[in-house]
Amino acid sequence: MKAEDIMNPNVICATLPGNRENVLELFKKHGISAVPVLKNGDLVGIVTRKDLLRKIDENQLALLMTPNPTTVTADSPIEEVVKIFVSTPFRRLPVMRNGKLAGIITVRDVVKKIAEMNIGTPIRDFITTSIVCVWEETPLNVVGEIMRLSNSELCGVLDSDDQLVGLIDEKIMLTETLIEEFIEQTAYSSSSDTDDSWSWDAVRDYTVKYFEVSVVKLPKEPVKKFMKEPEFVYPQTTVSKCARKMVKSDIDHIPVLDSSNRLVGIVSDKDLIRVLIQ
């Protein structure tokens, strides 16, 4: 299996010269969070939503983008692609053919391919047993601080009977609307006594929390109001069945329960795709 067998050949691109507004319009129009950047038809960089947040005062695309991105070729074995994904923070890679951009491949694309296969390997070898959990009545702003301090992208939510009842992640914390409004503003203040125009509607109690790439104001209401119901698997669940559940629910992590339905860990999409290089 090669990169061209999995990649998406219909790539949305930005071009130089360009600016923040051009990129943000592409993100909104196509519902994406990253685009390769071309100059005279040649790949010169890639720009993500996080790049826009990291460089909030910059407007020129040439300075916002990451130049000379890591790439693979159309005939690169999928094992090579997976090795790059699991050893780097990257979640997408431009695919080149004869020196030109031919497509893009993402971690989700690999998971989708695994879901179509019949890999009967149990997921028990891909479980991360350390997972941060909070009580369902914990204020969301406190959950945000817990996630920041533990460097966690996801947090399990437990009820008073120690049962997993929900999940909270950065996708919930950093809603698309909030990010877009934050990016579009021309000036901002991180002071907690300043009313910002990009605050969540109808919520007055906030506290300023710093995530990896942005300043986010989170309400003090219980996390149970914001969590999503969890999909879950068991240690004996097969890799392909797990992949199908992740694709169907549009999630990057899935909790693992034992025979007593107690939480024992979690499987991430990057952990799951390791099956292709074992």
Q: Map out the domains of the chain with their CATH numbers.
A: 3-116 (3.10.580.10), 125-184+204-272 (3.10.580.10)
User: How far is Cα 207 from Cα 147, in angstroms, rounded to an integer?
Assistant: 15
> Among 9-23, 50-64, 110-124, 137-151, which is the least confidently predicted range?
50-64
Query: What percent of the chain clears pLDDT 70, i.e. is strictly above it?
Result: 83
pLDDT digits (tens, 9 = 90+) for 232-246: 899 999 999 999 999
Confidence of residue 188 (pLDDT cuts 50, 70, 90): very low
pLDDT at 49: 78
State the average pLDDT over residues 145-169.
86
pLDDT at 193: 36
- 85 has pLDDT over 50: yes
